[in-house]
Amino acid sequence: MTLWQGRVEKGLAPEVADFLRAPDRELLPYDCAASKLHAARLAEAGLLTADELAAVETALDRIATEGGVAAEDEDVHSAIERLLGDLGRKIHAGRSRNDQVAAAMRLYVQEASGEARDGLRSLALALLDRAEAEADTLMPAYTHMQRGQPITLGHHLLAWVEMLERDLGRFAAARAQAEPSPLGSGAVAGSTLALPAPENQVRNSVDGVADRDFALDYLYAVAASFSHLSRIAMDLCLWATAEYGFLKLPEEAATGSSMMPQKLNPDVAELVRGKAGTAIGRLTGLLAVLKGLPLAYNTDLQEDKQAVFEARRDVRGALAALTVLVQHAELRRDRLAEAASDPLVLATDAAEALVAGGTPFRDAYTNIAASVRAGTFEATTSSGKSVATRTPPGPGAVGEAISAARTRLSPASQSTG
């Protein structure tokens, strides 16, 4: 079924119909929700009776739950009108598929953004639990993949939490951008029917049907989040190697080799790392679709759906699997302590001790560097003492930082985020 068959006498060639059919079944419950809002507008304008409105709402709830999209339906919008029967012939008054799909997609992005925030918060809280347990576990901090200065594992895990908190803000912003309603925009210029405006209606009908910035905002939040998850995953992959040996992979979140009996592979972390590239590609792809489109609606915009649908599935899966890995990974405190005991991680402390005694920093740096080159450097403190003296944002107050992060991630704080 198509909604425009009254205009075209001949049917589409099967090849054309297959090509044009929208891959949008995932949008069905959101289209039903948007259709209920529109039906209420029709009833308020006197174009549906109270009984008709009640029947439409009941039917839409059933369709949202049970489905019913058929192979011959061009899209979910066509399916809804068909499934509503005689009432379906009334429901499209004052609207177009152009504002209908925009309204449904906006509802979808709002829910997907909230779902991502829930997953991010769960992962962040799991990391805080591990950080609290490892607040005093010493390890080296790395720059350029070389040992730099001593920190604690808790401090390093808190760095991961900081990235996730920024992601929470980005998904909140994406959700907010999706909230305005395009209902009333019609095909491009509104309707002559005197329908009441929906809550938080867009200001311009042309932009209302053409805008997909909210989808871009969501895909950007996904891409940025995956870039962070990828960095976390890379740390986990490195730490699980025999060369680092900082953690042992849990059997709940690792796989074996089909040939090498000894192997335990960090597939969760690797796939998270791989999906970061795909997430960036989806954002780039939709940007390319939008960049040259004339206003207002064009069928090119149909390309937003698969990008957003697949991004949501990847975010959901990656966050859930990574949370399991974080919760169950076995940390090797002996290997972490061994790495932190390298005296060279205290070279900066030695230089700063000279500075505290009045030596200009560059002279102190040169002095310590010369002893490192000569192999005669001797640490003047311990890694534990060094960590304790470096105040926030350094690693000297991990316990307080964990408590503050828990407060920021509390339901009360997140409800305002």
Catalytic residues: 144, 257
Please give the structure tokens belonging to residue 326.
């974080």
DSSP conformation class of 265: B
DSSP conformation class of 11: P
Q: Which residue has tokens 């929906």?
A: 198
**Cα–Cα distance between 227 and 214 in angstroms, integer?**
20
Question: CA-CA distances (angstroms) from residue 1 to 47, 100, 330, 343?
Answer: 24, 17, 56, 74
Please give the structure tokens belonging to residue 287.
């940007």
Torsion angle (degrees, nearest 10) of CA 227, 231, 237, 243: 150
**Strand 330-331 relative to strand 247-248: parallel, antiparallel, unpaired?**
antiparallel
Q: Which residue has tokens 């350029």?
A: 144
> Which distant-in-sequence residues (6+ apart) come within 8 Å of 351 by Cβ?
361, 364, 365, 367, 368
> Which distant-in-sequence residues (6+ apart) come within 8 Å of 134 by Cβ?
152, 153, 154, 157, 331, 333
Q: Which residue has tokens 């005694």?
A: 357
- Where is 314: in which H helix or E strand? helix 304-328
**Cα–Cα distance between 308 and 404 in angstroms, integer?**
33
Question: CA-CA distances (angstroms) from residue 168 to 111, 121, 122, 323, 351?
Answer: 14, 8, 11, 16, 39
SS3 145: coil
Structural contact between residues 187 and 209, judged by C-beta atoms closer than 8 angstroms = yes
Number of neighbouring beta carbons within 10 Å of residue 22: 18
End-to-end CA distance of the chain: 43
Question: CA-CA distances (angstroms) from residue 151 to 130, 146, 159?
Answer: 15, 14, 12
